Structure 1
Amino acid sequence: MTLLYAFGSNGNGQLGVHHVKDLNIPERCIGIPETESLVKVVGGGNHAAALTKTGRIYMTGDIVQSTTFHIPTWLQDHVWIDVACGWSFTLVVSNQGHVYGFGIARSGELGTPLPSNTNNKDNSTELVAIHLDTKIVSVACGWRHAIALDDHGQVYGWGWNRHGQLGEPLSQKPYIQAPRLLPFISQPPKIKQITCGHTFSMLRAEDGTLYGFGSNKYGQLDIPDPMKSRHISTGWHHVAASIATNDTRSYQLYTWGRNDHAQTVPFLYPVDQFVCGSEHMLAVHHNKIYAWGWNEHGNCTSDKGSVLEPLEITELLPKGNIVLLGAGCATSWIAIDTFIV
């Protein structure tokens, strides 16, 4: 059976453990049936979402006003293939390739005209269709911007663009309401993976080449050369990427960008999985879990403000196979297939 554990910041119950206290020791999440197999867990400002292989999305936190995971009523009539959380909004993709959003959209995050009152919370629990004339396969959210990948390898963007995180030239109008195809080089590569930081975006092409745009204040766009990555993840101001090693099941991890909390210190072991939180990291090496970086809310399990080198946290969790890592804004989740004795 698959169990989900959480630790870190727990504002508005975003960890899904039935209370609102921050945790530096993992606790089991409540509400997701043990029979469900998880494929993704993501966190936003004070909310989280978990996607299952059966196409269901369970949520917890402020948008759904709950401290445990459950399926919101507005997500019950579709089969879902992807979900992403921004600061105060969430995007979902149906198995038909349609994109919907809900939450608070102050910068065009839901692909619609901004309300005259930017504090307006109308439609925060109403599914809003985001119109794209193509079949979308995945979405990614930054603080207040979003990008979407279609089945042809093209990327579309909308929302906040003050730092050029949508690939558009900076202008007096800092947001883009309607989704548009991202401008690119003369012969655009086929993109296979998309991800967003706080105010930047990162793309991985079919051949492993990385492309980034937006804020580069902390060097998060200074992609190591050469870099042919197999997978990427982004925090608020840092990036992690893996390249293949001789062991085809494991990858070498590279990190760059902001390092004020040691979030980009080297991880010396090959990784089986990894994920960036806002300013921290989780990684798996041979079924052992490590955490490092910003730890103010316990999201690396220590009692220190920052964990300055990778800390093994395996013993804090039940024995089993680690199947999934998730992270958000000072939040961490680990899904485990527990051993049956």
Structure 2
Amino acid sequence: MVDVTKWPMFSLMGLQELSSIRRACVFGTSANEAIYFTHDEEVYVFGLNCSNCLGTGDSQSTIIPKKLDMLSGRMVASLSYGSGPHILLATQDGELFAWGHNGYSQLGNGTTNQGVAPGLVSTNLLNKKVTEVACGSHHSMALTDSGEVYAWGYNNCGQVGSGSTANQPTPRRVSSCLQNKVAVSIVCGQTSSLAVVDNGEVYGWGYNGNGQLGLGNNGNQLTPCRLAALQGLCVQQIVSGYAHSMALTDEGLLYTWGANTYGQLGTGNKSNQLTPVQIMPEKDSRIVEVAACHSTHTSAAKTQSGQVYMWGQCRGQAIVLPQLTHFSCTDDVFACFATPSVMWRLLSVENDDFLTVAESLKNEFDNPETADLTFCVDGKFIYVHKAILKIRCEHFRSMFQSHWNEDMKEVIEIDQFSYPVYHSFLKYLYTDSVDLPPEDAIGLLDLATSYCENRLRRICQNIIKRGITIENAFSLLSAAVRYDAEELEDFCFKFCVNHLTEVTQTFAYWQIDGNLLKDFIGRASRYGAFKN
């Protein structure tokens, strides 16, 4: 499953908010805006709000997600963003909404006024069902369920395919040689446009200065033109970067063309390609997905075996050949290596039923239905699994090997530790984490010392350090001395000295062991605590 918190925009969210997210998109010139859709079909936005791109009705930035009431209950089918930025959103009912930057009429409403809130785009689209949207830097495209392509907005290079370079203020059908074709996919570069039709042919139009239309030249194209170099290939997926393009065929072959300053074509050099060239032919596994977006010079691909490759501009470096990554999806490439770290598509973060080994173990802790061993502490039962305890803890491994009858299912009584402490210890063996207040962490520190669990000792010491107060400082110091935790003892001692007047007035100070008190006073004196 994709982890949306790999994008910094989402890293401040709590678990409850994160679990509500069904789909999400991070966009903007600095990846500073985000939109997400919840399981109950609500839409939220947050971020910098450049050009009113959040659609909240005002120009205010917000780090707290705001709901877009106008879109409540409408399920998203497709979403895209431009450089202004402006946003296009198609619902599953086929409605098209647009908002944000509109200096070139890229919202399709016939004006150049910024869209402060989502507005329905209806001109020439009445009774049409929009299934897919695409944004270039300042132009827009929509695909209908009947395979018609509409375009509007900035047209200085012919990117709306109208045959001229005049801006197009409202949606207009892209015809020319697409007139009798059924388009199945659309995509935009910064100032170029591509479409795939149902027989796998690819058509391009707009800016072509870097060869991003793949036509064999670098002249702009004011109307759609078929990529003859892909003749005989059935293209399944196309994507565009800032000024490069990629196509994936139904046989899993990958072709790239256009700008290559950052190695984004993956050819091993930085030379532009005016016509498509096949890359990665030597890979054992066929390619099943390619990724790019018009905001970046980064490319990625995923193979049938699940390997993810990246190339192009990756964290400022020019990677000229596809580099194998440790990622499990192409989305992670853009989260971690693209500049800006925007999303190349509307991201699906829906949970599936699959649980990792770690998640499964967490779920089985203290489960009487699957447990084969029970501990009784303070009259309460804790249900565990012998095998996990043997794998995770040397104390239990030795205990079971030395005098344990594997056929016996019995209850082990524990009387030297409290229930919260022992429960937390056993849970730690299943989860690698501890959730205890500092006072109880003292007892767990004792257990960790007894069982020679050094990592657990360090965790307990950190909990105690973070939880030290005037009231409990002497108790914690006493515990650190008792359990021979030198680093923790030093930390608690310095805290007590730094707050000496307040600490010596606490109940814990007057309950302290006489010898420990003498040692403390002597050490504090040497430390200079009593000097005027």
Confirm or deny: 8 A CA contact 1:165 1:201 kept in the other structure.
yes
2:135 aligned partner: 141
Query: Quick one: distance in 2 between partners of 1:54 and 1:240?
Result: 36
Confirm or deny: 8 A CA contact 2:302 2:330 kept in the other structure.
no
CA separation of 1:190 and 1:112: change in aligned 2, threshold 3 A: same
2:245 aligned partner: 239
User: Does residue 4 of structure 1 match 2:17?
Assistant: no
Confirm or deny: 8 A CA contact 2:41 2:72 kept in the other structure.
no
Give the one of 117, 120, 126 matched to 1:129. Answer: 120
Query: Quick one: distance in 1 between partners of 2:306 and 2:20?
Result: 22
User: Does residue 255 of structure 1 match 2:249?
Assistant: no
2:287 aligned partner: 271
Give the one of 91, 95, 100 matched to 1:98. Answer: 95
Q: Match of 2:280, as an amino acid?
A: F
SS in 1 for 2:103: coil
Query: Quick one: distance in 2 between partners of 1:140 and 1:44?
Result: 15
Query: Quick one: distance in 2 between partners of 1:68 and 1:271?
Result: 39
2:27 aligned partner: 43
Equivalenced residue count is 300
CA shift digits 1:64-117 (9 cap, x unpaired) = 3345877544432422211111111101112221111111210001112334xx
Confirm or deny: 8 A CA contact 1:16 1:61 kept in the other structure.
no
> How much does 1:313 deviate?
2.6
More strand by share: 1
2:323 aligned partner: 311
The residue correspondences of 1:1-341 to structure 2 (distance < 5 A) are 2-6=2-6, 15-18=9-12, 33-34=18-19, 36-38=21-23, 41=25, 43-45=27-29, 46=31, 47-49=33-35, 57=43, 59-63=45-49, 64=54, 65-66=61-62, 72-87=68-83, 88-115=85-112, 121=114, 123-124=115-116, 126-131=117-122, 132-133=125-126, 134-171=128-165, 174-185=166-177, 187-222=179-214, 223=227, 224-226=229-231, 227-245=233-251, 251-265=252-266, 266-268=279-281, 269=283, 270-277=286-293, 278-285=296-303, 286-295=305-314, 298=315, 304-314=316-326, 322=329, 327=334, 330-331=340-341, 339-341=355-357
Query: Quick one: distance in 1 between partners of 2:308 and 2:255?
Result: 17
Confirm or deny: 8 A CA contact 1:2 1:36 kept in the other structure.
no
> How much does 1:307 deviate?
2.0
> How much does 1:32 deviate?
6.1
TM-score normalised to the size of structure 1?
A: 0.76
Q: Match of 2:310, as an amino acid?
A: A
SS in 2 for 1:230: strand
CA shift digits 1:284-312 (9 cap, x unpaired) = 222222221113xx2xxxxx532222222
> How much does 1:141 deviate?
0.4
> How much does 1:331 deviate?
2.1
Confirm or deny: 8 A CA contact 2:237 2:290 kept in the other structure.
no
Q: Match of 2:247, as an amino acid?
A: A
Of the two, which has the highest radius of gyration? Answer: 2
Query: Quick one: distance in 1 between partners of 2:107 and 2:16?
Result: 27
Query: Quick one: distance in 1 between partners of 2:174 and 2:19?
Result: 40
Query: Quick one: distance in 2 between partners of 1:225 and 1:29?
Result: 48
Confirm or deny: 8 A CA contact 2:20 2:39 kept in the other structure.
no
CA shift digits 1:322-341 (9 cap, x unpaired) = 48668586325587877521
Query: Quick one: distance in 2 between partners of 1:68 and 1:290?
Result: 35
1:10 aligned partner: none
Higher relative contact order (CA 8 A, sep 6+): 1
Confirm or deny: 8 A CA contact 2:82 2:135 kept in the other structure.
yes
Confirm or deny: 8 A CA contact 1:83 1:93 kept in the other structure.
yes
> How much does 1:59 deviate?
4.2
Query: Quick one: distance in 1 between partners of 2:2 and 2:38?
Result: 11
CA RMSD of aligned residues (A): 3.2
SS in 1 for 2:204: strand
Query: Quick one: distance in 2 between partners of 1:31 and 1:281?
Result: 33
Query: Quick one: distance in 1 between partners of 2:257 and 2:174?
Result: 24
SS in 2 for 1:185: helix
> How much does 1:36 deviate?
4.9
CA separation of 1:292 and 1:82: change in aligned 2, threshold 3 A: same
Query: Quick one: distance in 2 between partners of 1:283 and 1:82?
Result: 21
Q: Which runs of 5+ in 2 are unaligned?
A: 55-60, 215-226, 267-278, 358-532
Query: Quick one: distance in 2 between partners of 1:199 and 1:83?
Result: 18
Q: Which runs of 5+ in 1 are unaligned?
A: 8-12, 19-27, 246-250, 299-303
Query: Quick one: distance in 1 between partners of 2:308 and 2:140?
Result: 30
CA separation of 1:325 and 1:108: change in aligned 2, threshold 3 A: farther
Confirm or deny: 8 A CA contact 2:22 2:38 kept in the other structure.
yes
More helix by share: 2
Query: Quick one: distance in 1 between partners of 2:318 and 2:6?
Result: 18
CA separation of 1:225 and 1:32: change in aligned 2, threshold 3 A: farther
CA separation of 1:143 and 1:290: change in aligned 2, threshold 3 A: same
TM-score normalised to the size of structure 2?
A: 0.51
Query: Quick one: distance in 1 between partners of 2:14 and 2:203?
Result: 36
Q: Match of 1:267, as an amino acid?
A: M
CA shift digits 1:265-300 (9 cap, x unpaired) = 1334332222113211122222222221113xx2xx
Confirm or deny: 8 A CA contact 1:6 1:29 kept in the other structure.
no
Confirm or deny: 8 A CA contact 1:261 1:306 kept in the other structure.
yes
